Amino acid sequence: MTHHPVLAEAFAPGVPLPPVASARFTIGDVVKHRLLDFRGVVFDVDPVFANTDEWYEAIPEGIRPHKDQPFYHLLAENDESTYIAYVSQQNLVRDGSDEPVDHPAIAGLFDRLVDGRYRLRQQHRH
């Protein structure tokens, strides 16, 4: 059995793993962007950045988030449209409005809004 040298080194005893922030939000949470005017429902979470370098480089350097934090996939809405957003944890805050998010994909994934959080439909639960 052969071992990959980089993986073997990375998981060798005594070699610390890089720090990873714990996720502040979970699937179904309603959140809003702290700088931009949109809100959404979390439908997936990446423990660290997992998008393309091209996407990352398109963010202006002065506001570009660190990659070593959770990133959230959102069913998002603003005053003009609905869309999918990918947002770093540092740029999200909990939305306390208790207002539903008006995104057409919500009904396919979630049952209803309860106490500011959408409940996953039974067939999507693990």
- What amino acid occupies position 16? P
pLDDT digits (tens, 9 = 90+) for 13-60: 565 655 556 899 999 999 999 999 999 999 999 999 999 999 999 998
Q: Give me the count of residues in the chain.
A: 126
Residue 11 has pLDDT above 90, yes or no: no
DSSP 31: E
Residue 92 has pLDDT above 50, yes or no: yes
Using a pLDDT cut of 90, give the percent of the chain over it. Answer: 71
66 vs 48: CA distance, rounded Å: 9
Structural domains of the chain sorted by starting position, each given as residue range(s) with its CATH number in brackets: 23-124 (2.30.30.390)
93 vs 54: CA distance, rounded Å: 26
**Alpha-carbon dihedral angle through residues 103, 38, 68, 47, given to the nearest 10 degrees:** -20
